[in-house]
Amino acid sequence: MAFFQKVTHEASAENPVNKVVELPVSSIVPNPAQPRVIFDDYELSRLAVSIQQNGILQPLTVRRLDNSLTYELIAGERRLRACKLLNMSYVPCIIITASVKDSAVLAVLENLQRADLSFMEEAYAIKNLIDYYGLTQEETAARLGTAQSTIANKLRLLKLTDDEKALVVKYKLTERQARALLRLDSDKRPDAIHYIGSNQLNTAQTDAYVESLLSCKPQKPKVQRRWNFRAVNLYINTFNKTIDAMKEAGINCETVRNRTEDFVEYVVKIPLKQSG
């Protein structure tokens, strides 16, 4: 087990920058630019069990505030929350030197690079960076290492109303599907979201559906129906009754039926001339 330098409130004011140290959990405050707003309780519990059994494999990243013994969290929000569930007093951290603006950018970057933020959380995080720290879209794109058009597309999602955003999350629509909805007037969006989500349209089907609404000739795209075994049995029974009706009518048809685990095979021979 690794042992780290422990920093307490009674310790000296020395700042062990870029070293792994143990800090009191009570001395770490949240990052105001933290983009994650959804924390799954089950996943946090699983992480807490893992930390309890194996320890924290990756130290948290923090920055020191105003020469005090208070530290602002930059990376490791989920780990910190899991440690609090375990009532841990100290957690391993790496202290770095960062400005307020750099801390915010790093907090957003750390979450974006994990690729498990929802696209709505990403959009809000980018907007907060721009609004709070006075960045342009170009500056934000450069700091986050992405294209300006990507930033613009994500910010466009915030034009949806709060109710529409909630429906998008409820039906688990993709980012591209959510952007397609922006082409519609606001009065058409809720019904469109319900239809797209209820019928589980893919991206191409969503684009076609939105296009049909825009053309004022709503033509709902063909939706692939789910496999229904009860319906298949109904068709088989109907087919059997048809064969029985043919025999009752005097048509001497020959039928060979073969059923396996994967399919039912029929071979039917219907005479074109009346026998003998």
pLDDT tens digits for 166-204? 899 889 999 999 999 999 999 999 999 999 999 999 999
| 110: region left, alpha or beta (phi > 0 left; psi from -120 to 50 alpha) | alpha
Measure Cα distances from 206 to 103, 160, 167, 176, 224 in Å: 39, 17, 15, 9, 13
Amino acid at 88: M
Measure Cα distances from 174 to 118, 147, 157 in Å: 10, 20, 11
Residue 109 has pLDDT above 80, yes or no: no
pTM summary value: 0.51
Strands 90-96 and 20-24: antiparallel
Quickly list H helices, the chain.
41-54, 77-85, 100-114, 119-133, 137-144, 148-156, 162-170, 175-181, 189-198, 203-214, 229-248
Chain segment 76-98, per-residue pLDDT in tens: 888 899 999 999 999 999 988 87
164, 162, 141: which is closest to 152 by C-alpha? 141
Token pair recorded at residue 54 = 């194996």
pLDDT mean across residues, the chain: 80
Give me the numbers of helices (H) and strands (E) for the chain, helices first please.
11, 8
Question: Which is catalytic among the residues 22, 72, 77, 110?
Answer: 77
- Location of structure tokens 């969006």: 189
138 in active site: no
Residue 15 has pLDDT above 90, yes or no: no
Chain segment 212-256, per-residue pLDDT in tens: 999 875 555 565 555 555 566 767 777 777 877 777 777 777 887
Q: Are 96 and 55 in contact (CB under 8 A)?
A: no
168, 191, 187: which is closest to 179 by C-alpha? 168
Pick the range with the lowest mean pLDDT from 12-26, 89-103, 104-118. Answer: 104-118
DSSP state of 27: G
pLDDT band at 3 (very low <50, low <70, confident <90, very high): very low
- Location of structure tokens 């750390």: 110
Q: Are 137 and 130 in contact (CB under 8 A)?
A: yes
Domains and CATH numbers, the chain: 5-117 (3.90.1530.10), 160-214 (no CATH), 229-269 (no CATH)
